[in-house]
Structure 1
């Protein structure tokens, strides 16, 4: 091949690859305008797996992050409201001492999910007042998921999505 042709092909390949690695590929999920990078989702997945001694998946982390605004609102001003310090302390007790923002937020949602099983939480007047609107509140949360993880569905969480370049063989 001639040097000019090689240079042109190399430049074309570089431009194509750069285009494929655009700004959107680093995003993991956006919840009501709060962005979590794919790296934060992966870190939270690993750290929650360590903390719970169970294998978390990125889709579980994303679902927890999506539920967090509603859970924060549900428990705001109650004895069950969780502070960042409480979440950090809980994680530290499990060996996770360097939790990032994604881990802290996802862990807070997981802890709130555990609180929801507490009969005392179900009898708190503020929780009782807010609980009937939970499903509607969750439906109003704006969730944008990186397609590599799937798509957000308020009823089933993060569901897999086949890339557009994969098609069925049905004719």
Structure 2
């Protein structure tokens, strides 16, 4: 069983939330919510909240490599790449499977993956980012309980 201590400091349409938990620790202040602070909190979505709490931007290597493989296969299907070219690209994708961070991923791509950087636009190289797994778990397990309690109070 995990725990979360959520503290609110608010007045009318502004407020601060502080979260200390087994999932992580986050805080943010909103100065102009457009509604009561508690009502505002009930309308947040996970991606907006994660951005405000600094829990976004998690590098998802599996989704990144899957997206790259799909783009390569699509290019073969559309006859933009030969099977031999796609094989070379897929080998470079496979070499990235052991990356442990986004920094290592970019380092390997730009240092060792000439064909990938040619095939994909280097300025918009595929790199999937998401909400951190800890924040997702917090959101699904603790945040929903917290928000349901606020909704009861607002009735």
Q: Same fold (TM over 0.5)?
A: no
Question: TM-score, length-normalised on structure 1?
Answer: 0.26
Question: TM-score, length-normalised on structure 2?
Answer: 0.28
